[in-house]
Amino acid sequence: MGILRLFRPAKRLANISVYYMSAIVDGDVKASPIGIIPRFSAAYEKTIREAHRPAGTCYVNETIEGVSVIFYWAADKIEAVSFLSADDARAFPGFREIPEADLAVLDRGLAHFPR
């Protein structure tokens, strides 16, 4: 691996992880993985960047398609999205559910947002 490879920006993956708020434990909200959706366009991420000015790794509250969501912002892009309910997540355009067998494994280890 060449030294220049270390400094290349991360490639934008085609999909992002989807979580939903699954529980409140001692006042802390827990989110569980449920599926994936297609990555938002670079133009939409630019709109979020300009509106919220996220720095580093942080959470951004937003409303999309009339639904409140929390974006996990990292490496200057949206890396994951958490919906308030599983039904909201499933109804979102382009949503694909994680297969049940995989979900059982993930849910045991990833009861937070994001992973």
Per-residue pLDDT reduced to its tens digit, 66-112: 899 999 998 888 999 999 999 999 999 999 998 988 877 776 666 55
Tell me whether residue 5 is in a domain: no
Number of domains composing the chain: 1
Tell me whether residue 31 is in a domain: yes
Tell me whether residue 6 is in a domain: no
Here the tokens at position 83 are 């919906």
**pLDDT (0 to 100) of residue 107:** 66
Tell me whether residue 55 is in a domain: yes
Tell me whether residue 73 is in a domain: yes
Domain that residue 55 falls in: 14-109
For CA atoms 5, 14, 58, 25, the dihedral sign is negative
The span from the CA of 3 to the CA of 34, in Å, is 37
